[in-house]
Amino acid sequence: MLLFLKLLLAHLFTDFILQPNKWVENRQSRTYKSPYLYLHGAIAGLLSYLFVAQWNLFYIIPVIMIFHTTIDLWKVCQRGKAEVLFLVDQMLHILSLIMVTLFIKDQWQLFYEQIVLLTHQTRTIGIITAYTMILWPSGILIKVLTNKWRSEIESDQTKNESLNQAGKWIGYMERFLTLTLILLNQYSAIGFIFAAKSILRLNPIQQSQSRKYTEYILLGTLLSFTITFIIGIFLTNVIGIKK
């Protein structure tokens, strides 16, 4: 784990601290012809070698450089949403660091056995299932249950404009955080999340919107928390998944 964390820290320094915007723009415009593409990869390899500080592992420099450069080249050749490409890019970088760590420590077999063990544990499958349920099916259920009142709100002339899909992402995050805190047995922090959301969402509404819209927001929030609590309590008390 220490070796992986050192490699990850080197990656973070390379990608987010030691990389000027000019290099990124040059890579995006010139792709494989950009000298900064290869310079950036070389810095990633050199920094990884220095952070690991095991001087006999000199091959870290070319290996990390090749991985980093290839992933960055793939990214600049893609066309799509910037946030999606960013997430995929960082996931590929982390995956490459895991592979390098396993190669250096020669722990491929142990890693495989741990993955197999995790996938056969009730705790692991239960947690994955719970997070899947509270993120996607729960969102659809809340939408269906509040559809009757949503139609009233949409026809209300006093309805305030909001950011595109902001409500959906707020719901994702509140359910994710709530379930996480339930599994960690931190119920007091859940109250803080609920209070903070109520203050931020309801205060401006009271000034500019109808009572119906206020009730609609409260209804959606309470449904979101209720569904997450039911799933979380089921996990911790029925299945027996504890902290």
Q: Which domain holds residue 53?
A: 2-117
Question: Do residues 153 and 100 share a domain?
Answer: no
Question: Do residues 188 and 226 share a domain?
Answer: yes
Residue 137 backbone phi and psi in degrees, to 5: -60, -35
Q: How far apart (Å, rounded) are the C-alpha atoms in residues 93 and 96?
A: 5
At 44-69, the pLDDT tens digits run: 999 999 999 999 999 999 999 999 99
Query: What's the pLDDT at 69?
Result: 96
Question: Do residues 191 and 85 share a domain?
Answer: no
Question: Where is the domain boundary, 89, 117, 145?
Answer: 117
Question: Do residues 100 and 138 share a domain?
Answer: no
Query: What's the pLDDT at 205?
Result: 47
Structural domain tally of the chain? 2
Which residue did the predictor score with more confidence, 177 or 80?
177
- The CB density around residue 108, as the number of other CB atoms within 10 Å, is 11
Which residue did the predictor score with more confidence, 147 or 4?
4
**pLDDT bucket at 154, cuts 50 / 70 / 90:** low
Query: What's the pLDDT at 243?
Result: 53
The answer, yes or no, to whether residue 168 has pLDDT greater than 70, is: yes
Question: Where is the domain boundary, 117, 133, 154?
Answer: 117
Question: Do residues 222 and 128 share a domain?
Answer: yes
**pLDDT bucket at 157, cuts 50 / 70 / 90:** very low
- The CB density around residue 236, as the number of other CB atoms within 10 Å, is 17
At 15-53, the pLDDT tens digits run: 999 999 999 999 989 999 999 999 999 999 999 999 999
At 171, which amino acid appears? G
pTM: 0.73
Torsion sign (Cα): 161, 163, 167, 170: negative
Question: Where is the domain boundary, 117, 137, 159?
Answer: 117
Question: Do residues 134 and 218 share a domain?
Answer: yes
Question: Do residues 160 and 230 share a domain?
Answer: yes
Q: Tell me which residue of 146, 141, 157 sits closest to 218, measured CA to CA.
A: 146
At 194-214, the pLDDT tens digits run: 777 666 555 554 444 566 777
The answer, yes or no, to whether residue 225 has pLDDT greater than 70, is: yes
Question: Do residues 125 and 235 share a domain?
Answer: yes
Residue with structure tokens 């660091």? 97
Question: Do residues 106 and 165 share a domain?
Answer: no
What average pLDDT does this structure show over 95-102?
Answer: 94
Question: Do residues 108 and 55 share a domain?
Answer: yes
Question: Do residues 112 and 126 share a domain?
Answer: no
Is there a contact between 86 and 92 (Cβ–Cβ < 8 Å)?
Answer: no
* Most confident region among 29-33, 90-94, 208-212, 232-236 by mean pLDDT: 90-94
The answer, yes or no, to whether residue 102 has pLDDT greater than 80, is: yes
At 125-135, the pLDDT tens digits run: 889 999 999 98
How confident is the prediction for the chain on average, in pLDDT? 85
